[in-house]
Amino acid sequence: MNPRRKNFLSTGTTSIVLIFVLLCLLTFSVLSVVSARADLNLSTKSADRTTEYYEAENEANDILLTVRNSLASHAGSPDFLSEVRSDLEGNSGITFSEENALSYHVPINENQQLFVSLTLSAEPQENGDYYQIEAWKVENTHEWNNDTSVPVLNSDTMDELFSEE
């Protein structure tokens, strides 16, 4: 055995491996923080949208309660639908599209609204109500415009990039 022969793994090699491992750990920790922040932002947006929706739904239910109370107070009247119409039209944004159909909108946010449509009847339904819900849905209030432009270099741009001055 040669006493001058050095060991294959020296201090320099282990230091390089240690630095590489530390850089890997640092990279993974930064990626974890970025991912966690993105998840937090997404969760916050989702919670805000859910809160906005349920606030609008509560308001729509309050308007429905107003309609229900008006229907109950005019039940049995010979001029039932016309009395209900005069009592409710314009109140809380209620509009009548037909003699026995009304609808209203409740804003959720700047881009959406909750649309409610009811059909009224002079006789009570199976559940005892004088109305039937025809629609209870979220609608978009703005028109979506698709951006189909693709930023591609054209010949004028290429000339500007490679022109010699």
Q: Quick check: is 97 in a domain?
A: yes
Structurally, the chain folds into a number of domains equal to: 1
Q: Model confidence over 107-148: pLDDT tens digits? A: 999 999 999 999 998 888 888 888 999 999 999 998 888 877
Q: Quick check: is 124 in a domain?
A: yes
Check the CA dihedral 25-29-31-35 and report its sign: positive
Q: Quick check: is 80 in a domain?
A: yes
Q: Quick check: is 162 in a domain?
A: no
Q: Quick check: is 150 in a domain?
A: no
Query: What CA–CA distance (Å, rounded) separates 27 from 67?
Result: 60
Q: Quick check: is 84 in a domain?
A: yes
Higher pLDDT, 11 or 111: 111
Amino acid at 17: V
Q: Quick check: is 18 in a domain?
A: no
Structural domain for 98, as ranges? 43-140
* 141: CB partners within 8 A, 6+ apart: 107, 110, 111, 112, 113
Q: Model confidence over 68-109: pLDDT tens digits? A: 999 988 888 888 888 888 888 888 889 998 888 999 999 999
